C-alpha cells in the first residue's frame, strides 16, 4: 500500500499523524524521542512572539534548531499583529520548516491577555496576524493556523470561525488544524468530530488537520474515516506514548498494532531522561519525570508505575524505578492490547501533573 502523505505547502510529510505543539512538553527531548519511534513531523512548544524577538537566553533556546530536528514547526502566539512578522522571520531564518499560528488556546490567563483562543472573537486581528506572517515568510516557508471551533456554540462565534478560516485559506496558508471543542468547553465532554466533517466539506481539497480525543492509533484512523480530514495532530495522546505514530503506520498498512514491550518502554524513557538532562542539566530529571508519569499508562500495572514515578525526585530515583518495574528480564512483556491502552492512558493522565515551560503562558494540550 502506498504511503499516505500530508501536504503542507511545499513540504510533504510521509505520514498522516503528527506531533502537536504542547506547551511544557514538546521540547527537543520529546521531539527526538517521538521521531525515534515514528513521528515524521513535530511542532515546538508554542512561544510568544516577543520571546522570539527579545534578546536573551530564551530567545537563543527557541532559535536553536539542531540538524536532526527536521521537519519542525514553530508555533507563535501573541496579541499584537505587528509582532508576528518579525518573530516568524527570525524562526524561519533559524531553520523552522513551518510557521504555525495559535488561535486556539483556551487557558483563561491566555484569553485575558487577548491571545490564543481570544482571537477567534476578533477576525480582523487574527487575519492581520496571518497577513504579517505571510508577508514575512510566505515565500520561504509554509504557514499554517491552529484553531478551535469558536469561543462558544453561538451562531456569531461560528460565523467568526469561518471568517478566519476562509480568510486564512484565501490569503494562502498551507493548512489549518481544527480542534472541534470551543474555547469555553476547554477539555470538557467529547470533541464533536461531526464539526470536522463539516469543515472538511467546506474547504474541499485544502489541507485540513483534525485534533481532539486522539488517545490511540484506532482513534486516529476513526477520525480520518469519519471526518475526511487529511491528517491529525496528536496532542495529549502522544505524551508518554511516542509509539502511537508507529502504531498508526501499522494500521494504515493493514497490520494490527502491538503494545510496546517493557524493554521498548524502558529504552524510550531512558532516552527521554538522557535528552532532558543534556538540555536542562540538573533540571532534566524533573522534566523527564513528568513524561515518565505519562509513560506509566503503557505499563502492565499502570497505577503502580505512575505512583512510583510520582515519588521520584532525582535522576537516580528515576533509574531505580526503571530497574524495579522495567527490569531487563521482563523486557519482552507487554501490557494489554492497544485499544485497552488508549482507555488506560486517559485514566492515568487524569492525575493532572504537568509542567510549565516558561515559553508562554501555558496554553492547552489541544
Catalytic residue (choose from 105, 114, 238, 351): 105
Reply yes or no on whether 351 is catalytic: no
Measured from the Cβ of residue 11, the count of other Cβ atoms closer than 10 Å reads 18
Report the C-alpha gap between 345 and 58 in whole angstroms: 32
Report the C-alpha gap between 123 and 137 in whole angstroms: 21
Cβ contact 347:14 at 8 Å = no
Cβ contact 245:234 at 8 Å = yes
What are the helix (H) ranges across the chain?
Answer: 28-36, 49-53, 57-62, 81-94, 108-111, 123-137, 155-171, 193-203, 217-227, 244-252, 262-280, 284-295, 302-310, 315-325, 338-348
The helix/strand/coil state of 146 is strand
DSSP string, 191-251: --HHHHHHHHHHHTTSEEEE-SS--SHHHHHHHHHHH--SEEEE-GGGTT-TTHHHHHHHH
The helix/strand/coil state of 260 is coil
Handedness of CA 297, 298, 302, 305 (dihedral sign): negative
Residues known to be catalytic: 105
Amino acid at each position: 500500500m502506498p504511503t499516505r502523505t500530508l501536504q503542507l505547502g511545499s513540504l510533504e510529510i510521509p505520514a498522516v499523524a503528527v506531533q502537536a505543539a504542547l506547551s511544557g512538553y514538546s521540547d527537543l527531548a520529546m521531539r527526538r524521542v517521538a521521531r525515534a519511534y515514528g513521528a515524521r513531523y513535530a511542532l515546538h512548544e508554542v512561544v510568544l512572539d516577543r520571546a522570539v524577538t527579545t534578546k536573551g537566553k530564551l530567545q537563543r533556546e527557541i532559535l536553536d534548531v539542531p540538524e536532526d530536528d527536521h521537519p519542525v514547526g514553530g508555533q507563535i502566539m501573541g496579541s499584537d499583529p505587528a509582532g508576528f512578522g518579525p518573530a516568524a522571520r527570525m524562526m524561519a531564518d533559524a531553520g523552522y520548516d513551518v510557521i504555525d499560528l495559535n488561535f486556539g488556546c483556551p487557558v483563561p490567563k491566555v484569553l485575558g491577555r487577548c491571545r490564543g483562543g481570544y482571537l477567534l472573537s476578533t477576525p480582523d486581528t487574527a487575519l492581520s496576524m496571518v497577513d504579517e506572517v505571510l508577508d514575512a515568510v510566505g515565500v520561504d516557508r509554509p504557514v499554517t493556523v491552529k484553531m478551535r471551533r469558536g469561543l462558544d456554540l453561538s451562531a456569531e462565534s461560528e460565523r467568526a470561525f469561518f471568517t478566519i478560516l476562509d480568510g486564512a485559506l484565501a490569503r494562502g496558508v498551507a493548512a489549518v488544524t481544527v480542534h472541534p471543542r470551543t474555547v469555553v468547553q476547554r477539555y470538557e465532554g467529547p470533541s464533536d468530530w461531526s464539526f470536522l466533517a463539516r469543515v472538511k466539506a467546506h474547504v474541499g481539497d485544502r489541507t485540513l488537520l483534525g485534533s481532539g480525543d486522539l488517545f490511540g492509533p484506532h482513534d486516529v484512523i476513526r477520525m480520518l474515516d469519519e471526518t475526511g480530514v487529511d491528517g491529525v495532530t496528536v496532542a495529549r495522546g502522544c505524551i508518554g506514548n511516542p509509539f502511537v505514530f508507529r502504531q498508526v503506520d501499522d494500521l494504515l498498512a493493514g497490520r494490527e498494532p502491538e503494545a510496546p514491550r517493557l524493554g521498548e518502554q524502558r529504552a524510550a524513557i531512558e532516552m527521554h531522561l538522557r535528552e532532558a538532562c543534556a538540555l536542562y542539566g540538573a533540571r532534566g530529571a524533573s522534566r523527564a519525570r513528568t513524561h515518565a508519569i505519562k509513560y506509566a499508562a503503557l505499563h502492565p500495572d499502570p497505577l503502580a508505575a505512575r505512583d512510583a514515578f510520582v515519588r521520584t525526585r532525582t535522576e537516580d530515583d528515576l533509574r531505580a524505578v526503571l530497574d524495579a518495574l522495567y527490569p531487563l528480564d521482563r523486557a519482552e512483556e507487554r501490557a494489554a492490547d492497544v485499544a485497552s491502552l488508549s482507555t488506560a492512558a486517559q485514566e492515568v493522565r487524569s492525575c493532572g501533573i504537568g509542567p510549565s515551560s516558561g515559553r508562554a503562558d501555558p496554553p492547552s494540550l489541544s
